[in-house]
Amino acid sequence: MAIHPPEQRIWWNEKVATVELIWIGVAFLWGLVMFFMMIYWHGAGGQNLSNEAYRIEPEAFGERVDEMIEAYTVREDEDSGYPVVHPPPGSDVYMLARLWEWYPILELEKGQSYRLNLSSMDWQHGFSLQPTNINVQVHPGYVLVMTITPTESGEFSVVCNEFCGIGHHQMIGRILVTE
Ligand code: CUA
């Protein structure tokens, strides 16, 4: 009973029960199995995306986002007023996270590859692309680069899945894929 002091004050010298030792062993071995499964899933399961990460100041990342918007904006989104940007296939495309939005709206072409650059201007956010199984953390001070090739056309949502404050649940972005 934890509410009473232990009978033996030097309790950490007492013998550990065999069944407890077995559980510690099982948990340790399972941890090792799961560790090596991360490497296995990278190749066999299509999980744990290949990516690159570099240090970058938020201001410098913001400038790159603005340059892309200036060069390749095709229209303004009617609902949000955000620029819809259609960068050339094969290029670096940028999306920034900040309290509480993903910016801007990207319009990509199906079957073309892009280098998607993600970074945060303030807090940690989570980039979760719906309804696909892509899920990465987005940190300020680092840019995460993934090569993506959309295989389906349509409208995809970017949901923030790292709790980032009072507007977290409204932090939804968009990626459009055209035929
Ligand atoms: Cu951004 Cu939660």
Which atom, in ligand 1's list, is nearest to the CA of 124?
A: 1
Q: Is 61 exposed, middle or buried (0-12, 13-18, 19+ CB in 10 A)?
A: buried
Output the six-digit token pair for 49: 């995306």
Indicate the number of domains in the chain.
2
CA angle 51, 35, 18 (to 5 degrees): 165
Q: Which is nearest to 105 in space by CA: 127, 77, 79?
A: 77
Give 11's DSSP letter: G
Q: Are residues 26 and 87 in the same domain?
A: no
Q: How far is the CA of 166 from the centre of ligand 1 (A)?
A: 9
Q: Are residues 30 and 55 in the same domain?
A: no
Is 135 inside any structural domain?
A: yes
Q: Whose CA is nearest to atom 1 of ligand 1?
A: 125
Q: Which is nearest to 158 in space by CA: 140, 171, 144?
A: 171
Q: Are residues 16 and 78 in the same domain?
A: no
Q: Are residues 20 and 56 in the same domain?
A: no
pTM: 0.78
pLDDT tens sequence across 113-138:
999 999 999 999 999 998 887 889 99
pLDDT tens sequence across 10-42:
888 888 899 999 999 999 999 999 999 988 888
Q: Which long-range contacts (CB under 8 A, 24 or more apart) does 45-48 make?
A: 46/133, 47/133
Q: How far is the CA of 30 from the centre of ligand 1 (A)?
A: 32
CA distances from residue 11 to 1, 14, 40 in whole angstroms, order as listed: 14, 5, 42
What pLDDT is recorded for position 108? 97
Is 66 inside any structural domain?
A: yes
pLDDT tens sequence across 77-101:
998 899 999 999 999 999 999 999 9
Report which residue type is found at 145: V
Q: Are residues 18 and 98 in the same domain?
A: no
